[in-house]
Chains A and B, each alone.
Chain A
Amino acid sequence: MLSGGSRVSLASGETKTGIAVAAPRRKLVWPRPRLSYTGQLVLMLLPFVAGLLLLGIGPALAGLPLALTHYNLLRPPVFAGLANIQEMLGDQVFRRALFNTLFYIVVAVPLRLAGALLLAVLLAASVRGVVVFRGAVYLPTVIPDVAWALVWLWVLNPFHGPLNQMLGLFGLPGPLWLTGEWSSRVAIVLMLFWQLGEGFIICLAALAGVPRALLDQAAVDGSTAKQTFWRITLPVIAPVLLVLLARDTAASLKATAVPGLIFEPSTGMREGGFFLPNYIYETAFEYLRFGYASAMTWALYGLTALAIWVQFRMVQRWSVSVDGDD
């Protein structure tokens, strides 16, 4: 180290005196062994792969054995066999959280995708100023989840809130949103629907990517805009929609945790607005039951994987039947 440093300074001194010996000087300034080009690429990849293993795959796998233990962070884990899984099967709160999560995946996720696609179709034309309107649709997505939930606390306020006022304009009775079971459920679906910007942008890109020739050919053949959309555009972008569906399913498991943490824990919210992530959070970090929380986490994994598999099967069948139509 020391000798290397002095040699480098010697080398720079040499240049001052004008003794130009380029080749050896270069070797001294770069003392590390020369990596091959591929080696350099691997070096560039290394931080990311290390991150994936240490912060992604590793922790995810480490959670598995915890499910078979009782663990409260204070004492070392105690092996418990299948006790946690048994408890899960008989747990009413778990069942309710599972139902709410399933309800969200089955109702809200497709609704968000349909909304994103509809908005993308409406705003697909590249006319003057369309960017402003696209930006408006994207705006709620930009807003941090917590801030958005707090905004909706106001929107849903039964007495002053604008939503019930709006319903009042149409002569509809405003529910006490976050106090009832089903009204809580609807409120959360509504609130998260507004943040569909990512799907919207990806749908826009997918629509722009539909080959022009296909659409022109359809027009020449006398296809109406509606027919073209259902028979050509939709099947062509189906793979993108599928990826969006799967991604939104995985993402929703995080998004649904926020309202439960922000809204007041009324009975309605406990029943209709309480999702698996909320129960896992509570079990782990409030009751310090890491073993049980880990078991439920694996149930959540299974649920996500199952939901994504079902979506793949359904879209597969649907796109085949669309192809078979013509």
Chain B
Amino acid sequence: MTGMIRLTRHGSLTDAVRYVLYCLVALPFVLPVWWVIALALRPTGQPLGGDLLPVPWPPATENLGRVFEVVDFARFLANSAFVVAVTVPVTILVASWAGFALAQLPGRWRTRIVVLAIAVAMLPLTAIWLPRFILIRELGLIDNLWALTLDALIATSPFNVLIFLWSFARIPDGIYEAARLDGASAFRIWGGIAMPLARPTIIAVAVLTFAHHWSSFIEPALYLRSTANMTVTLGLTMLQQLDRGDWPVLMAGILIAIGPVVLAFLLSHRAFLHDVRDAGWIGR
């Protein structure tokens, strides 16, 4: 612990100074979110701007309600929930299977497929737009929510496979060997031994996948047509275009849209922020 402190240049600072510094560092990152909350819960009649640290007191929930009246936001939430409900389990399955297999297949194969995965992960998504659009059109999935779930087949991002690979590679070979000698199949070792040991990785990948699909904007904009199929992100742009001056309702929509993602990260913060040294998904 002392070593960690020496790592920073503020090792000699007293705690009070340290926490004041931390607050100053964190403030700019929290402020924009505070503005969203303050505007969304703003009591009617309170002036729009003019206050850098507005306090929405007493909080008014009418803006939140109006979001659901102006557009069919409940429908958009349900659509996004559907996409996430399909993509998260499929991604976990594809990524953990592939990671499990790669951790045990001969090194030659592992290297090849890891290089392939990194190559695809580095492809600018822009580059795949056009052929992907044509593919989805050929599959007849234009204006169909299933079009947004295809990505789960490449584990949403190939990085998710690498995260599982790193995680499974840390499990001592002896454990797999012993199970194999007992006659267990690969699927059985995956489900009975590897996955229970990789719980933090599963949580991290699940949250990242959830956030990815919940936030996805360009893909729904390309593939979806009808209002009934829109996802939350498209709903937000619709909210903005319908009434450009109504900031409180827009902010209320944003608050509802970011709520689930922020909550997911809060609940799983251990996997991301706690002692990073222990965070399996980083790969150490």
A positions within 8 Å CB-CB of B: 37-38, 40-45, 47-52, 54-60, 62-63, 66, 73, 119, 121-127, 129-140, 142-147, 150-155, 157, 159-162, 165-166, 169, 194, 201-202, 204-205, 207-210, 212, 215-216, 219, 225-226, 229, 233, 246-247, 250, 253-254, 257-258, 261-262, 276-277, 280-281, 284-285, 290, 293-294, 297, 300-301, 304, 308
Which of A44, A52, A194, A281 is B101 in contact with, Cβ under 8 Å? A44
**Interface residue B269 (Cβ < 8 Å from any Cβ of A):** yes
Contact yes or no, B274 A47, CB < 8 A: no
Known: A45-B105, A60-B131. A140 touches B33 (CB 8 A): yes
CB contact under 8 A between A57 and B190, given known A51-B155, A142-B262: no
The reply to whether B97 and A225 contact each other, CB–CB distance below 8 Å, is no
Cβ B187 vs Cβ A40 within 8 A: yes
With A45-B98, A145-B215, A210-B7 in contact, do A138 and B272 touch (Cβ < 8 Å)?
A: yes
Provide a sorted-by-A list of 13 A–B residue pairs whose CB atoms are within 8 angstroms.
A45-B101, A48-B161, A124-B4, A127-B15, A142-B261, A142-B262, A143-B215, A165-B52, A216-B3, A261-B218, A284-B130, A284-B133, A297-B130
Q: How large is the interface on B (under 10, 10 to 19, 20 to 34, 35 or more residues)?
A: 35 or more
Binds A, one of B71-79, B195-203, B232-240: B232-240
CB neighbors of A among B1-59 (8 A): 1, 3-11, 15, 18-19, 21-23, 25-26, 28-33, 35-36, 39, 48-50, 52
In the complex the two chains form, what is the Cα distance from A37 to B7 in whole Å? 47
A201 to B204, CA, bound (A): 13
Interface pair A66/B130, CB less than 8 Å apart: yes
Task: Flag if B22 contacts A130 (CB, 8 Å).
Answer: yes
Decide: B279 and A154 in contact? CB cutoff 8 A. Answer: no
Q: Which residues of B, 87-132, contact A by the 8 Å Cβ criterion?
A: 93-95, 97-98, 100-102, 104-105, 113, 116-117, 119-120, 122-132
Q: Given A134-B273, A154-B251, is A121 in contact with B120 using a C-beta cutoff of 8 Å? A: no
**Which A residue's beta carbon lies closest to that of B104?**
A41
Chain A residue nearest to B98 (CB atoms) is: A48
Residues of B within 8 A of A130 (CB): 22
A204 CA / B125 CA spacing, docked (Å): 27
A220 to B180, CA, bound (A): 50
Interface, chain B (partner A; CB < 8 A): 1, 3-11, 15, 18-19, 21-23, 25-26, 28-33, 35-36, 39, 48-50, 52, 93-95, 97-98, 100-102, 104-105, 113, 116-117, 119-120, 122-135, 137, 150-151, 153-155, 158, 161, 180, 185-187, 190, 211, 214-215, 217-218, 221-222, 232-233, 236-237, 240, 247, 250-251, 254, 257-258, 261-262, 265-266, 269, 272-277, 279, 282, 284
Contact B9 A121 (CB under 8 A): yes
Residues of B near A59 (CB, < 8 A) are 128, 131-132, 135
With both beta carbons as reference points, the residue of chain B lying nearest to A66 in the complex is identified as B130
| A37-B94 in contact given A52-B116, A125-B8, A290-B130 (Cβ < 8 Å) | no
Consensus secondary structure, chain A interface: helix
Closest residue of chain A to B1 (Cβ to Cβ) is A126
Which residue of B130, B150, B279 is within 8 Å of A205 (Cβ)? B279
Selected contact of B272 from candidates A201, A226, A284, A308, CB within 8 Å: A201
Determine the residue in chain B with the shortest Cβ distance to A255.
B125
Contact partner of B273 (CB less than 8 A), chosen from A135, A207, A308, is: A135
Verify A126–B254 contact, CB threshold 8 A: no
Instruction: Write out the residue numbers on chain B whose beta carbons fall within 8 Å of the beta carbon of A45.
Output: 97-98, 101-102, 105, 113
Known: A42-B101, A56-B123. A140 touches B29 (CB 8 A): yes
Cβ of B17 to closest chain A Cβ, rounded Å: 12
Whether A56 contacts B128 by the Cβ 8 Å rule is yes
Query: How close is A89's CB to chain B, nearest CB, in angstroms?
Result: 20
Q: A138-B273, A277-B126 are in contact. Are A55 and B153 (CB under 8 A)?
A: yes
CB distance from A37 to the nearest CB of B (A): 6
Tell me the bound Cα distance from A142 to B116 in angstroms: 28
CB atoms of A57 and B215 under 8 A apart: no
Interface centre among A44, A160, A204, A229 (most CB of B within 10 A): A44
Q: B262 touches which one: A42, A143, A161 (CB < 8 A)?
A: A143
Report the separation of the CA atoms of residues A58 and B150 in the bound assembly, to the nearest whole angstrom: 14
Chain B residue contacts of A37, Cβ below 8 A: 180, 185-186
Inter-subunit contact B221/A121 (CB<8 Å): no
Complex Cα gap A38–B15 (Å): 55
Q: Is the CB of B214 within 8 A of A144?
A: yes
A130 CB to nearest B CB, Å: 7
Expressed in whole angstroms, the Cα–Cα distance for A166 and B272 within the complex equals 32
Given A47-B97, A253-B124, residue A150 in contact with residue B240 (CB < 8 A): yes
